[in-house]
Amino acid sequence: DTAVSQTPKYLVTQMGNDKSIKCEQNLGHDTMYWYKQDSKKFLKIMFSYNNKELIINETVPNRFSPKSPDKAHLNLHINSLELGDSAVYFCASSQGLTQETQYFGPGTRLLVL
Amino acid sequence: AQSVTQLGSHVSVSEGALVLLRCNYSSSVPPYLFWYVQYPNQGLQLLLKYTSAATLVKGINGFEAEFKKSETSFHLTKPSAHMSDAAEYFCAVSLSSTNTGFQKLVFGTGTRLLVSP
């Protein structure tokens, strides 16, 4: 009965590879987010989708492409992985576009070698 | 632009002592403010949030925070620390676009709370 789930939990890959991270929420929320947490624990929003439409794109390299097949899912595809992409990626969801609580997934730890 | 500043990347307390984690915001309008906690190897969990209903906000696990407009602060406190409180704590402010109405959380740099026996 996990509210926000992510797969995989860990991802180790070589530079130049392409990888995807999946996120699913069963809270019935209509807004989903991707955050990146770097090695210093700094958290920054990357993307946000509301009802499957992109509403926030925070100057993220176009190697990162989010996709929302439906309101309950938000996936993140990363092309040509670079060393600097190593981080923890968190998915989150909330209801509506106002100042509502965001619920976070457990994170995907990506290590690019 | 709105942002938050967390003073002190690490705070150490003894079990049973008062916990005080500092957060200051910069905003020209009353903001929505949040405190989230991150336990090791886990995602973030909401502790409490300020949405202008009351200046003293009570959260989970005995934490509370007071919104002080005159000091532009939203410090997090707990009267008596437990070992289980050891975690990373993030203050965040919510940005809302007047055009689109979207919500974006801008996080502080986090404060690691260490609790010793």
Whether the per-residue pLDDT at B26 is higher than 90: the answer is: no
Q: What is the DSSP string of A28-73?
A: --SEEEEEEE-TT--EEEEEEEETTEEEEE-S--TTEEEEEEETTE
Q: Average pLDDT for residues B42-70, to the nearest whole number?
A: 91
Cα distance from A15 to chain B (closest Cα, Å)? Answer: 24
Whether the per-residue pLDDT at B99 is higher than 60: the answer is: no
Q: Which residues on chain B are in Cβ contact (under 8 Å) with A45?
A: 104-106
- Percent of chain B scored above 90 by pLDDT? 67
Q: Rounded to whole angstroms, how far apart are CA atoms B23 and B94?
A: 14
CB contact under 8 A, A41 and B88: yes
CB atoms within 10 A of CB B114: 13
Q: What are phi and psi of A51, to 5 degrees?
A: 50, 45
Whether the per-residue pLDDT at B54 is higher than 70: the answer is: yes
Determine the pLDDT at residue B102: 73
B26 contact A CB<8A:
no
Q: Average pLDDT for residues B73-91, to the nearest whole number?
A: 96
Residues in chain A with pLDDT values less than 70: 1, 97-99
- Based on C-alpha coordinates, what's the Rg of chain B? 14
